[in-house]
Amino acid sequence: MSRSSLKRILQSYGTVLALAVIVASFSLIRPDKFCTLTNFINITRQISLLVMISLGTTLVMSVNEFDLSVGSMASLGGIIAAVLAVKGLPMAVCFLLPVIISFFIGLLNGWVVARFRVLSFITTLGMSTVLSGVIYRLSGGATIFEGIPKSFSFLGTAKLGRIPLLSILMVVFVALFFFLLEHTTLGRKFYAIGGNEETAKIAGIRVKKYKTIAFALCAVMACVTGMLIASRVGSANTTAGDGYFLQSYAAVFIGCTVSRKGIPNAVGTLVGAAILGILANGLTILQMPSYMQNIITGGIIILAVIAQKAGHGDAA
């Protein structure tokens, strides 16, 4: 096999091969704990929330922008849903109203970025701070758990046979976002804007409109994730979404390496989240200290970013 052929194979399948190597390694080291159906089902549940919030960041990154407010948006979604549940509102309202609110918050983020050409880093960082204040006002800075009805926990804890509902929702969302990005005009316009904004304008694409839509959908997915986090644990923490912020972008960056073009994509994001989740699961089984888990995970993220940039370079 020639060097160029090997390089093409690694560019096309390197990330998937890395995932296979990680799974094989943990399976060989601890087959009794890691390589079991129960553990694999558990992994799908563990990564489900990360995958869902990461699909939103995938959309924003597809238009070459970033949303730093996804963590706060997730926390706010959980808090609003829990507050409404405590007040005794129907569950449909508890889970639908936060989605509507998050949609408009995302529209505002996108409108500011697109209309005034403000850096998305600055805009969404400011929005994250605003949302933190709103969260504190709604919750008083405390975890909301008293008075939450049992029905609130259904989405986060229900199972279909042995399969958690969260795992099923993850698969459904991945399929939806794959279809949106790969097989719709909206997805093609997102990629066109992310590839070259000026060229997209010349082609007649309304860049401001589609950037705004991307931010709105990203906020919705963050909110949905936050509500499911609250539903899963039966309470709403003011910082519940914070831990998903960096992890979501790590999943997307790793996922970019699944595509030879080095672009954000739904299947790649799923693979990226799976790598992070399986690493965390396997290292925990091996009783690896948390700081070593952070070092290993961080190293993989850095390698993924380098690989993603290299992919862009080759494409150019």
Cα→Cα distances 22→15, 130, 214, Å: 11, 40, 33
- Per the prediction, the chain carries an average pLDDT of 92
Quickly state the pLDDT bin for 316 (edges 50, 70, 90).
Answer: very low
- For helices 37-62 and 207-233, the axis angle rounded to 10 degrees is 150
Cα(208)–Cα(204) distance, integer angstroms: 12
User: 222-240, pLDDT tens digit by residue?
Assistant: 999 999 999 999 999 999 9
The residue with greater pLDDT, 66 or 2, is 66
Quickly state the pLDDT bin for 61 (edges 50, 70, 90).
Answer: very high
Residue 7 scores a pLDDT above 80: no
Cα(7)–Cα(16) distance, integer angstroms: 14
Quickly state the pLDDT bin for 312 (edges 50, 70, 90).
Answer: low
Position 96 scores a pLDDT of 98
Percent of the chain residues topping a pLDDT of 70: 93
Residue 139 scores a pLDDT above 90: yes
pLDDT, mean of residues 264-282: 95
Percent of the chain residues topping a pLDDT of 90: 80
Quickly state the pLDDT bin for 15 (edges 50, 70, 90).
Answer: confident
pLDDT, mean of residues 118-141: 97
Position 302 scores a pLDDT of 81
Is 256 buried (19+), middle (13-18) or exposed (0-12) by CB count in 10 A?
buried
Cα(80)–Cα(101) distance, integer angstroms: 10
Residue 315 scores a pLDDT above 70: no
Please check whether residue 240 is in contact with residue 230, taking contact to mean a CB–CB distance below 8 angstroms. Answer: yes
- CA 15 vs. chain centroid, Å, equals 18
Position 183 scores a pLDDT of 97
